[in-house]
Amino acid sequence: MSIYVVGHQNPDTDSICAAVTLANLKQELGEDVEAIRCGKVNAETEFILDKFNIEAPKLVEKLNKGDEVFLVDHNEASQAIAGLEEAELTGVVDHHRIGGLETSGPIYFRNETVGCTSTIITKMYKENNVEITDEMAGLLLSAILSDTVIFRSPTCTEEDKEIANELASQLGLDVEEYGKELFKAGSVVNVLSAKE
């Protein structure tokens, strides 16, 4: 059975896009993996998936005994998909504080002090010499702009900016303009609620 790649509960754009792109990278490298999500896709992420013509990953609410799982965009058990303690954890790619995770054996664990998991995944494509398709570039760019609030968050680094600018230039997108479009799409629900 495939190894699941999954972001945190109550997924934001980075959790969905990092799962989809890391699964894509691993598939290109010949691994049997599948991106999943453990919660609802928010309005911003829905806009992004539509724009780049990618289906939302399958919803899995709880892992079962024997499932293998790779976590992205979180490393704390309390934020993870239900049933994690029953499953076999095979890896983590994240950019948050280290949160007390314990495993019985060694696993791949990569945490970097950058603004977005998708920045690290873009580096992983490059390290493995795997071409980033426009669809995947779109998801990676969107996640970086979302997590760093278009480079304005205190967690944003030069590396996030460089990588986002490279991805934007591959896609012929203007970072500021597209970023604002993204945040507008994400706030539709709030705007509508406010109007009611």
Binding-site member from 3, 4, 5, 12 for Mn ion (CB under 5 A): 12
| Number of residues lying near its own copies (CB under 8 A) | 21
Smallest Cα–Cα separation from 161: which of 174, 148, 173?
148
**Helix/strand/coil for 194:** helix
Reading the block at residue 151, the tokens are: 């480079």
Q: What's the burial of 72, exposed, middle or buried (CB within 10 Å: 0-12/13-18/19+)?
A: buried
Which of 29, 82, 98, 188: binder of its own copies (CB under 8 A)? 98
Partner interacting with residue 28 (select from its own copies, Mn ion, none; CB below 5-8 Å by kind): none
Residue number of the CB closest to Mn ion reads 14
**Mask for 101-120, x = binds its own copies (CB under 8 A):** xxxxxxxxxxxxx-------
Q: Which does 79 bind (CB under 5 to 8 A by kind): Mn ion, its own copies, none?
A: none
List all residues 6 or more positions away from 175 whose beta carbon is below 8 Å from its beta carbon. Answer: 141, 145, 150, 151, 164, 165, 168
Record the tokens describing residue 145, joined without a space.
């702009």
Build a one-symbol-per-residue string for 40-79: x at contacts with Mn ion by CB under 5 A, - elsewhere.
---------------------------------x------
- Residues lying near its own copies in the complex (CB under 8 A): 95-113, 127, 155
